[in-house]
Amino acid sequence: MSAAASAMVSSASQLRGRMIADADMSRHCSWRAGGLAELLYVAADLEDACEFLAGGDYPQPLTMVGLGSNFLVRDGGLRGTLLKLAPAAGQIERLSEQRLRVQAGAACPKLARQAVAAGLAGCEFLAGIPGSIGGALAMNAGCYGSTTWQRVVSVTTLSEAGVLEKLSPESFAIGYRTVARRDGQPLMFASAEFEFDADEDGQARQRMEEMLAKRSRSQPIGTANAGSVFTNPPGSSAGRLLDEVGMRGASFGGARVSRRHANFIINEKNATAADIETLIGMMQEAVFERCDIRLYPEVRIVGDEA
């Protein structure tokens, strides 16, 4: 444990969240692999997160993490502080007939289910995104032709000093699986307001169930994976290209490319982060050598090599 992390843990009595020094990140990401984070703070709610950040004594740099479904810490660990929001920071509030305010800690499937139950449409795709709203905002997550920011009216961000600020979508450069603040500040989301459609044909629930059934048939649900490994190249499909070059079922160490979908890597046999990252490189190299196309990871890999 570093001196900074030790001091932070010993002075945390006024906070309500969980503070973990040398946090084993294999317990906090869906790949079930990874090294230690110098300090992990799981905030009890948004107010608690603001209080933690306002204290300012946490080890730098600061990284915000959601449900860990698109995230990997290398085996050598991550210096600094990881901030995570507990499920209590996932409240969903109805502001009007079609507008919802959603805190960043809410799981995307939770929002989809509650919105459909409230008679709203246009939210069904979120049921197939296994991450938090904060993570979905940070990467403009999407599937089945829809993306997160298509429905965003405004967001409230969180600064490294614990200050909340409400911003419009115009304050961000938004693209395919990419989001950046135009002022260059780091991305840390506290909540967002979404505008959905009225479910006039009464078919939103059926559409959501059909999307989930399709996902279940085509993806390795129930395994230790991080979702799609690569973004799709323009006009193509990463999964199809990986199939064409024979990567389906390929393995390295304890990591294996899913036999169900070639754009997924499964932690099959206690894979290390290095196993996973090496397999990612093998997949990229195979596609580039055979197809002259570069694949770019959708997953976020941070930290130091062992």
- Catalytic residue ranges: 177, 228, 298
How many other β-carbons are positioned within 10 Å of the β-carbon of residue 276? 29
Residue identified by tokens 């130091």 is: 304
How many other β-carbons are positioned within 10 Å of the β-carbon of residue 67? 22
Give the closest residue to 280 by CA, choosing from 213, 226, 236, 211.
226
Task: Please state, in angstroms and rounded to a whole number, the distance separating the CA atoms of residues 125 and 108.
Answer: 9
**Ramachandran quadrant class, 85 (left: phi over 0; alpha: psi -120 to 50; beta: rest):** beta
Give the closest residue to 5 by CA, choosing from 17, 18, 22.
22
Residues 75 and 272 sit within 8 Å (Cβ to Cβ): yes
Characterize the bridge pairing of strands 62-65 and 18-24: unpaired
Give the closest residue to 87 by CA, choosing from 66, 114, 59.
66
